[in-house]
Structure 1
């Protein structure tokens, strides 16, 4: 795709202080998942676990609202928005983690992503963690709220 990401705010985010980068976030989450799963099994079984990674472009279209309720719309694509994740295999059922370059994923939309990813990985929604990195020049998605607005 030739879409590269969007710019909704002219102001720089540099003054917001240090931010956790994706690698750090995945390392921490991977450690937590490893501790949780490892607590139920002896350490000798660690070699039976496998990790599969995935990424997809989830860049919003031009004209889509950034942060959902703000009047600001994406007017330019500067960097692509992605979902990056992994599937931990080898336990009772796969565990999925997906981190979206979006501001928020709410309510029905959160449940829909968990269900879809669970079906794709052959697991249950309870074993899927969907997270948003929460940058403010990205979308907020809430299918339930949109349905209420459409009905009004």
Structure 2
């Protein structure tokens, strides 16, 4: 586990955070499938959907968006600004949601960096969703070992 640093601040955001989440998502997924402000607002209005943002050096650096139903949590998206990558923020965001119970997610077969992060956090591959993404690419389904 990575210890929180004093300059890392974690904060839950609701629907009011949709503009910030959309901006961070666009920055992190340049050239990929980016979610807009309306999509984040819609997701955050669904009961059980939560956004956790991490601020570093006084600037929003990344977030994790999850949806929990009973004792199972899905990571909908995880984004860290390229300016703040390779500082353990993605791992810290994932660790913050472990108390939610069983966790699963889908990750693009081409996103090897994300798969490596999830595997380093203890996730295992559980299957494949064919043609899952808008571009027709497949997704690997991963689940926590908990």
Answer with 1 or 2: which has the greater Rg: 1
Q: When the two structures are superposed, what TM-score results if normalisation uses the length of structure 2? A: 0.31
By relative contact order (CA 8 Å, sep 6+), the higher-ranking structure is 1
**As a proportion of its length, which structure holds more strand?**
2
